[in-house]
Structure 1
Amino acid sequence: MDFTYIIQRSAKRRKLTITVERDRSIVVHAPEGTSDEKIQQVVESKRQWIYEKIGHPQKYQELPHAPGKETVSGESALYLGRQYRIEVIKTDANEIQFSQRFLIPAKLAKQAEALREWYIGKAKEKIVPRVMHHAHQLGVDVAMVKIVDNRYRWGSCTVNDNVNFNWRLIKAPMFVIDYVIVHELAHLIESNHTPRFWNIVRAQTPKMEKAKAWLKENGQLLEEVI
């Protein structure tokens, strides 16, 4: 076997699954007590699938890393697919305001987490209702929706019908967010990337190809704090 993988065992997990993260790392999620030999057998049986995932051009294309920015007046930050100007203002307010630009209290400007927390709040406000909308349209039941901090995955679903979405998605256009949501929900119907799976996603998100292209071109920009 000419690749390495990380094993994560959990007492709550009932089924062994393999994920290939966006940094090409391979993670095996296994029920507690699963032997190394059993895991190796499963990984070996999935060798071709793993190679396909590692080489997936949409998911792993190398992109130039965007330069880091600071929360200073004149800079800009990405939100729902558009760049908006940052203005640092003197105010007694303790939170960031948004009105076609980011108004950041001076006392928060040097706190790297301030804008991140704003993004997370907006992700919960806008992404969760979209998940429920698409779940209704697809006729699937979702146990729980979580906004998570997972740098290398845009979304995931669990064996318990929970779905998780990366807070960084809130920087993408809504048609891209919809695509990622439907992609994960479709896994509740069809677990693998079969022709049926892609037909489900395409039917629910007509801009699927445009969304995949946007992520291919701009995915790394979403991973910047600003």
Structure 2
Amino acid sequence: MANIASAGVAPLWRWLGHQLAHPEGGGGVLVGRAMSLANRAPYRLAIGALRPAQRDRVLEIGFGPGAGIAALAECVPGGHVAGIEGSPAMLRLAASRNRGAVAGGQVELREGDFRALPWAGASFDGVLAVNVAYFFDAGGAAASEIRRVLKPGGRAVLYVTDRSTMARWPFAGADTHRTYDAAGLRRLLVEGGFRDADIRVVAHRLPFGVEGLVAVARAA
């Protein structure tokens, strides 16, 4: 009976994994709203590590429902916040949440591919990616694009949940999630063009036994 029950639940976990990778439809909207709650602590850690200045230009990769965009906009009242997202459903949610900042020109949100960012090189003082690197391409193009659009001296901050925690979550299968330990997260950034000496990875203990990793990489 246990095996039958597990078999019945497996498609639900696969559905959730795919929705986290690319939210769509009504289910994607529900998942996106849940992401806003689950990502509160990761965003605090990641934005704290990014330390954006008031006039900085910052970019968020995979902004989901837009909570991080809103937080970044508060940090850079004299600057500019850009974001790129692959899910039209999340773009609509984020645009609604940040309607005033978008209308005022402080925030710019685009739908697109992380592997081909639609901005010129050296455009940003900081780049943020929270719980998104699981969906980066294995060829390293997304990480290389992050390095390309950073100004010299700019910082990229990536937050991921450590592989040891992800292994307990049945929705985070290899068909949807690329998981990391500290060494793997560092390797992703090195392969993207950051110098190893300019990368720092710090582990954090979050509620419910979650191990988080925050990587800060400075562009030479």
Query: Would you say same fold, with TM above 0.5?
Result: no
Q: Which has the larger radius of gyration?
A: 1
Q: TM-score, normalised by structure 1?
A: 0.25
Q: TM-score, normalised by structure 2?
A: 0.25
